[in-house]
Structure 1
Amino acid sequence: MGLTSETTVYVMAALAAVCVALLVWLWPRLARQGLRPVLGRLAAVGVTQVTIIAACGCWLNSSYQFFGSWGELFGHVDTAPVGITQAAGRGDGVVTGVAAKGALVQPAGDQQLSRVTGLPTGPAAVNGRVESVKVIGRRTGVVDPALVYLPPQYFQKAYHRQRFPVIVALSGYPGSVFNLAQYLRVPQTAGALQKSGQMQPTIMVMIRPTIAPPRDTECVNVPGGPQAETFLAKDLPDALKSTYRVGHYASSWGVMGYSSGGSCALQLTMRNPGVYTTAGALSPDYKVKDDPTTGNLFGSGLGRVNRVNGHDLMWRLKHLPAPQVSVLVAESKHGERGYPQTLAFIKAVKAPMRVVSILPDQGSHNFPTWTREMPATLKWMNQQLTFPQDVVPRQHHTPGPTKVRASGPEPSEAATKDK
């Protein structure tokens, strides 16, 4: 009985209901004087409250996918790569191509994909497809679930040798790939924009930056601990390049996210401009700090100050050469706390770095706000990415077109503000 399954939710709800009924039935017997009746009342009330809270927690976790398994809930995470030997088919939830033993991207289970509304259906060459996979870090040994949206052109004969640009979408903490698909609507929005010609055909990769749940690693290489930055800046691109027809140069790679995922997107792009050249950050922070969910991210000793400063984006803009990247930041003027910090970040950016912003008058730190900002963010990011001109060798694929030009209008002035 999985942690996120509906069966678990129903069982916990039934258990809570039974405890409430037993409490009502036993209360007259526990209403006597003396130590034992008092302890009995305390135990009955305590057990009933625990079961009710557990039932509500299971329902929330099933809906929002904070933790994907019992092991994750208790901090036990499998990091050992698991190989398969058979070729993957073409059905739902499998990787396009052959996932051999030792492959860095392998088919995964449903991951609540069947509960996501609005995903493409029908022929993949007409509507595209979303695949459920697990990404295995060659350097870090991390195994992280992901969803991959492949546009219709990926399956069309004319594009069989063509590589595609990539946008990596990161969830917040303690979010999941389910949140990216169901609540942020990443594949649905990207699919609609590409179908209408407002985005060039692009592969969308949805993944969580929390590689060692329940710890919030904030895309940092923790001394002696999880190597989150290495996984997202090296392992993930290498794994995708080994499996999908994606661009091999940074000019065709972007990363975006919301909340702490947005913070990660900025960190990854500014610290690794040779991997990601474009970032979209919805409600980000501009400095990584230790807190109860992160633990000690930067270690101790003489190197701690340098590590802390290295993840302070305002410090980087002041003391280090600006990277040649383009970033978009989004923050509401009223309803979110980070508006002054966002204005300070925009002001601090200098050439060759470029920044644009989405600054709505009203909004909260939630999915309704971020989904409003998604279309303009994706269109702008896509326009910064270069459609790969390199192609897959002829011996592996049939010939395809030599060039595909980016399409789609610039975001309106009401949606973005350029610096």
Structure 2
Amino acid sequence: MSLTGTPFFLTSLTLLIVAVVLPFALWGRIAGPPLVRGLGRLLMLLFAQVTAITVVFVLVNNANSLYDTWDDLLGTGSHVEAARDLGPDGMGGRQIKHEPKQLQQFRPADDPKVGAGVQMTDLQGRISGVRGEVYVWLPPQYNDPAYRDKKFPVVELLPGYPGSAKSWMGSLRAAEQLMPLMQNGTVKPAILVAPRTNLLPGADTGCVNIPGKVNADSWLTVDVRKMIIDNFRAGDKPDSWALAGYSAGAHCAAKLALAHPDRYRAAVAMSGYNDPALERDSLAGKDPKLRIESNPLHILKSANAAGKPPRTALYVSGAERDGFQAGLGLRQFAQNPTTVTLRQIPPGAGHTTVVWKQQVPEIFRWLGTQLRA
């Protein structure tokens, strides 16, 4: 039974109703000595508490897309099949232009919560050694005969930690919100791509490559990117690609865009952070060297010191103690052609999907000014 499916929710709700009714029906009818009666009543109370907690968890999980599968929840599944040392560029000595096309079979998304038009595939990363699902949504213009010769920009969508690849389509309703805006021209059309980021049990990869453990950077910036270009009319130049993330996904979006200006033109970071150690389960944050090297502020400073400020546009939003300070730091050290657009969220708004969902139209209007096919 799927963790996020309707059957599991209805089963949990049914058990809760039974757990509430049971004490009223049997409390005074339990026979036997006092110890047996007391134990029976205690078990009924525990059953009621467990079922109530389960229903609350299911509601919260479904609303925020925290855990996608039982393996994600229980920490029993890994999506890493190999993690060899791929070097500084994350390519392991290979060149994308020499790699054969990776054509995929797509099917309708297996969860109706993501909305109409979302399709998915199971991708085996040839470079990264990662395997995972990737969700894709095509803009309304994609199948319009007037656009048959046109390539489209692409935005990779990254969730927080823990987080499901379905969160942007489900909890944030990105495709549902953007469909009418793209149809009326308020937002420029773009392909939305939501890859799995929860790759290791009980750990946030920080979107880095760690030889012997995981190549999360290469999964997102090489394998997923190439697969989309191979299967859709997607632009293949940096000016056609952007990343957008919230919370831990915001950290990843800023880090990856600044580290790979040869692959991405822009990034959106909502309620994120620069220091990966702020996420206690971050593998990058636990490694002293990686903690520095994967900090977007360090990446920006290093590029400036080398005389090569990245041609990257960042949009950073957040509250005073929830992402805004990180954006101030990046804006302070941004040198042409790097740009940082900063938006402060009112205090008390919270670190929730409700806050990020409200920003979807705005951030995609901004992305439309940065990307071109």
TM-score bracket relative to the smaller structure: 0.7 to 0.9
Count of equivalent residues: 349
Q: Which structure 1 residue ranges, 5 or more long, are not aligned?
A: 82-101, 120-128, 388-419
For 2:93, the equivalent position in structure 1 comes to: none
Give the direction of change, closer, same or farther, for the CA distance of 1:104–1:371 in structure 2 (3 Å limit).
Answer: same
1:18 is displaced (CA, Å) by 2.3
CA contact (8 A) 1:269 1:277 kept: yes
Give the direction of change, closer, same or farther, for the CA distance of 1:189–1:16 in structure 2 (3 Å limit).
Answer: closer
Distance 1:306 1:177 in 2: 28
RMSD: 3.0
Distance 2:63 2:367 in 1: 29
Distance 1:15 1:161 in 2: 55
Equivalences for residues 133-212 of structure 1 within 5 A: 133-212=121-200
Q: Secondary structure at the match of 1:154?
A: coil
Equivalences for residues 207-356 of structure 1 within 5 A: 207-289=195-277, 291-294=279-282, 296-297=283-284, 304-321=287-304, 322-333=309-320, 337-356=322-341
For 2:360, the equivalent position in structure 1 comes to: 374
1:21 is displaced (CA, Å) by 3.1
1:245 is displaced (CA, Å) by 1.4
Q: Secondary structure at the match of 1:182?
A: coil
Q: Secondary structure at the match of 2:166?
A: helix
The alignment status of 1:73 with 2:73, answered yes or no, reads: yes
The alignment status of 1:47 with 2:12, answered yes or no, reads: no
1:278 is displaced (CA, Å) by 0.7
1:258 is displaced (CA, Å) by 1.6
CA contact (8 A) 2:78 2:201 kept: no
Residues 67-99 of structure 1, C-alpha deviations (whole Å, 9 max, x = no match): 222233222337499xxxxxxxxxxxxxxxxxx
Distance 2:25 2:79 in 1: 48
Distance 1:292 1:130 in 2: 33
1:223 is displaced (CA, Å) by 4.4
Q: Which amino acid aligns with 2:254?
A: L
> Taking every aligned residue pair, what percent have the same amino acid on both sides?
28
Q: Secondary structure at the match of 1:224?
A: coil
Equivalences for residues 81-120 of structure 1 within 5 A: 103=102, 105-108=104-107, 110-112=109-111, 114-116=112-114, 119=116
For 2:97, the equivalent position in structure 1 comes to: none
1:232 is displaced (CA, Å) by 0.6
Equivalences for residues 377-392 of structure 1 within 5 A: 377-387=363-373
Structure with greater helix percent: 2
1:8 is displaced (CA, Å) by 1.3
Distance 2:333 2:6 in 1: 48
TM-score normalized by the length of structure 1: 0.73
CA contact (8 A) 2:277 2:285 kept: no
1:35 is displaced (CA, Å) by 5.2
CA contact (8 A) 2:134 2:194 kept: yes
When structure 1 is superposed on structure 2, of 339-348 and 248-257 the one drifting more is 339-348
Distance 1:139 1:116 in 2: 29
Distance 2:182 2:235 in 1: 18
Residues 396-418 of structure 1, C-alpha deviations (whole Å, 9 max, x = no match): xxxxxxxxxxxxxxxxxxxxxxx
Give the direction of change, closer, same or farther, for the CA distance of 1:326–1:63 in structure 2 (3 Å limit).
Answer: closer
Q: Secondary structure at the match of 2:325?
A: helix
Q: Secondary structure at the match of 2:277?
A: coil
CA contact (8 A) 2:243 2:253 kept: yes
